[in-house]
Amino acid sequence: MSGFLTLDQACEQQLGLLPDAGLIYARRAHLLPLTVADVGQAVCDFPVLISRNSHDASLMLSALTSFVPGHNLLADSQGWQAIYRPLIMQAYPCYCIVEAGRPQFIFAMDDSVLAIAGDALTDARGVLSSQAQRLTQHAQDLYDKERQTYLCLQQLKAHHLLRAIELQLQPEQGELQRIRGLMTIDEDKLHSLDGATLKALQQAGSLQLAQCMLNSLLQMNRLIQKHNQHAGSGALSFNRIQKLKIEIDRDSGFL
């Protein structure tokens, strides 16, 4: 995937949507982007962590779906194995941007989901297909929730509630694997906040986000179990994990 197309450009190239676009996207995302609207349900399946966007270094809320880049342990040949589908999966490959105060919709140039063989985005009169209408509605919702997520993350950062961590994976054979560049909530600092600050965080939705993120760390055990199942089936790049430790990463320079 490289770049984006406007709706008109996609139609000019006679590109259409292939089935299961959201699932295809999710299969290759070991960090699956989330919004504050997703987290309450996503914590039933995934550890929810914060990382930085590789393009602009902005804070990004994500579900950790695998310890192996390019893999998602809950998206396989049998389909989506989690309870909830995050908004990004419902909108992909459509994104909303705002130009001159008006929403515009663009499509990721991803030939695994957008191809000539796919279902047309518009009919002969240029009217959006029902499928494309659903995608644009989800993309608009995703845009709105991403704005809310950005504000929540900035608020958590302003109160020094983000803690850089390092995942230390000890395989049954081989050297310790370290995964850096991730953040979670500093539970001690959260519990030390005064009532007025807690109320402000609650009103913004940031307190609920922080609590959900802390609760989601329990899903690390499930992720290890899934990982070891893949390793047991002979999947490449998967070595059985014997132990996982979550350590404070004091030298990351990440915040």
Place 252 in a pLDDT band, splitting at 50, 70 and 90. low
What's the whole-model pTM score?
Answer: 0.92
Question: What are the pLDDT digits (tens) for 167-203?
Answer: 999 998 889 999 999 999 999 999 999 999 999 999 9
Q: What is the DSSP string of the chain?
A: --SEEEHHHHHHTT-EEPTTHHHHHHHT-SEEE--HHHHHHHTTTS-EEEEE-TTT--EEEEEE--SSTT--TTEETTEE-SS---HHHHHTTEEEEEETTEEEEEEE--TTTEETTSEESB-TTSPBPHHHHHHHHHHHHHHHHHHHHHHHHHHHHHTT-EEEEEEEEEESSSPPEEEEEEEEE-HHHHHT--HHHHHHHHHHTHHHHHHHHHHHGGGHHHHHHHHHHHHHTT-TT---EEEEEEEE-TT----
Confidence class of residue 1 from pLDDT cuts 50, 70 and 90? very low
Instruction: Please determine, for residue 153, whether its predicted confidence score (pLDDT) is greater than 90.
Output: yes
Amino acid present at 208? Q
Phi, psi angle pair for 48, to nearest 5°: -110, 125
CA distances from residue 7 to 136, 145, 207 in whole angstroms, order as listed: 10, 22, 38
Among 26-35, 48-57, 113-122, 208-217, the least confident range: 48-57
